[in-house]
Structure 1
């Protein structure tokens, strides 16, 4: 059974009857910011099955939420009957596309090769590799590794005009900055254009998708195909997503939300979506889930009518976490959230989930065992003194691993430790801390 079949959150709907075609659905979901000939592209997508691609560069060992937009965009097109090519850039990853701010640090060839494998595995989870419109993974190192600099300049470089290249938004921004731009990064758009040309020749690819900040790179490919092959090719760019308050989307506490569970735990990932502002829920459901228009509009209304219930946020968090980490991991996360506040069994949580669920709590390490309940409360920081801890116990507000302690002389032993190391200490209903016993 393929990963697509194992994960019902990725099944999607191939023909939501409320839309005439996939292009209209993409626009309704807010996934089209800019495109080449829109009328022609809509016609092509409606009348035939085409091959399309999206590229991902291994500039980190994991993809992030910005990349997830593209992965789900690819899946939508595949559900509509089109054939995806998932490109992980083994050669462009050695260069790095220009950023608005500063030059990228070049990684070693060995590092890039390792990251290619990791990203290919991530991309593959979102596409189906079976059926008439089966996906295919490609690596641009395959057609650039043996290409000499002279051949590249003669066969590709001659089609690019410097005047046009320096007008590209990111390049222009860097040229006008103190940092400037190296020839290495300046040439990136030529490499990406060459990718599109090669995919057009090898697989008949006629559409490239990506973020709107990549528009200059996307159109370098459509222009190159027109000049070399005399044929039409298409591209469209998704908008850069921002929160309703104007802040950047896709970061939590200033850190990127990665798709790799080792770099961003499923618990942290779930909490990120659960904390979505009411004003952003509908837009996030459109982009990051496969719910129908009717289902999304219903959740939007419920969020407006009963915001305290957070129905939209809960559905969003469940669905997106299931998309990325699977249903089982998502169920564990939900169980962990409940267990922290006494609504489930902490002992049922595996250590990784427990640590992720408690990583933002105050944590203290202590030596030795056989600590009395009063000492544990003080060590945890939930009570400032032993007298305050005694009052907490006497008032029935002291809990260790969700078990109430009412006896001032009660002792916590090794048998009480979660995974042989941890105590979850709670004072009252909401004050939590972790004590780790060495």
Structure 2
């Protein structure tokens, strides 16, 4: 199978700029493509990992990846999908984050023996001559067309609007594609579906300026069956850095996903053959837990190695053996509407009777004795929201022995 067939079968592909030409390109193989990553943190998270897996599949099919670090674009920040302007980072922070992400990527992509390469757009963006850039690149962009892009619409409707700083981001990303085309004969840009407008801009720039073929493809964002982005826990994002999200926490996140999301995640986030993915995804009832174990183990093995995956699996099974997950703990039904705007942790603890009073709940939280969905809660103002529930259930723990299931009704 070529890369297009693999990505299509596994459910990655969302949109393409020139479908027939892209199919023909992949049939020949040897495609040089790139995926850009802005260094907004010193670690990749689960949302990034989907595109990293796509990159890995592409490489396995004989194509050449370019991992573009956004040391230049990161100084502005992508407004796509953001309701407010991103926090500005210092050059030192950006460069530190780039170094950390480069190290992580080497675990998933092969960079030796003429394989993938890593480049940093700081090399050509940080010292641009603004007038020359406007004359050479800006002339190819229509402001009317840019304002119609989905990535700008949400911001244009807000009172704060869209800053001129952020408005430049699309042009800069398009210029990245042009530079990579000239430097490395890169002919395709890949990214999440929220990058569609930015990717089209780069494709159009190369075709207008150089009269050469260029292509774009986007992947579906990693969402659950309700359309909510995956990768969020009580303690924040699910990171690939073990110092931010431990291998056990990482394993447990995938072990506890909703039943309807198992097959999709097996297809997108593991290298298991699709026949096995479909077999596991078809399991029903309590049997689906076997598929969740496979998903959690395979994904943890890819990110943290087999040793850590085995440790995490054994620890999770020990917890399961206590009957905590098996349904032998007390359960309280609470109206889903109560969590629409969030319920503070102290109200939840008293509502389900885990503590007799708010003052005792306050002490338990301050002493680090409260967990929600197996994640410690130390903030007295922490809000429990509906998106923290899995299949309408949420496990609350106080101390080492008190467990309580909260079920939405």
TM-score by length of 1: 0.72
CA distance in 2, matches of 1:214, 1:426: 45
CA distance in 1, matches of 2:153, 2:355: 58
Say whether 1:235 aligns with 2:231.
no
> Structure 2 residue aligned with 1:116, among 90, 94, 98?
98
Secondary structure at the counterpart of residue 94 of structure 2: helix
> Structure 1 residue aligned with 2:64, among 69, 83, 86?
83
Shift of the 104–341 alpha-carbon distance from structure 1 to 2, 3 Å rule, reads closer
By how many angstroms is 1:149 displaced?
A: 1.3
Asked whether the equivalents of residues 196 and 208 of structure 1 are also in contact (C-alpha less than 8 Å), the reply is yes
Where does 1:38-437 land on structure 2 (aligned, <5 Å)? 38-98=19-79, 99-131=81-113, 134-253=115-234, 255-301=236-282, 303-304=283-284, 306-308=285-287, 310-339=289-318
Higher radius of gyration, 1 or 2: 1
Could you list the per-position Cα deviations for residues 336-355 of structure 1 after superposition, in whole angstroms to 9, with x for gaps in the alignment?
Answer: 33455789xxxxxxxxxxxx
By how many angstroms is 1:73 displaced?
A: 0.4
Secondary structure at the counterpart of residue 266 of structure 2: helix
CA distance in 1, matches of 2:162, 2:76: 12
CA distance in 2, matches of 1:28, 1:337: 31
Secondary structure at the counterpart of residue 89 of structure 2: coil
CA distance in 1, matches of 2:173, 2:103: 22
CA distance in 2, matches of 1:104, 1:95: 8
Asked whether the equivalents of residues 259 and 288 of structure 2 are also in contact (C-alpha less than 8 Å), the reply is no
Shift of the 307–22 alpha-carbon distance from structure 1 to 2, 3 Å rule, reads farther
Say whether 1:21 aligns with 2:2.
yes
By how many angstroms is 1:383 displaced?
A: 12
Unaligned runs of 5+ in 1: 1-19, 344-381, 385-424, 433-438
Unaligned runs of 5+ in 2: 323-353, 357-398, 405-409
Asked whether the equivalents of residues 278 and 307 of structure 1 are also in contact (C-alpha less than 8 Å), the reply is no
Q: Once superposed, which parts of structure 1, at least 4 consecutive aligned residues long, lie more than 6 Å away?
A: none
Aligned residues: 333
Shift of the 272–26 alpha-carbon distance from structure 1 to 2, 3 Å rule, reads same
By how many angstroms is 1:308 displaced?
A: 4.1
CA distance in 1, matches of 2:75, 2:355: 53
Asked whether the equivalents of residues 252 and 316 of structure 2 are also in contact (C-alpha less than 8 Å), the reply is no
Asked whether the equivalents of residues 206 and 213 of structure 2 are also in contact (C-alpha less than 8 Å), the reply is yes
CA distance in 2, matches of 1:219, 1:226: 11
**CA RMSD of superposed structures (Å):** 2.4
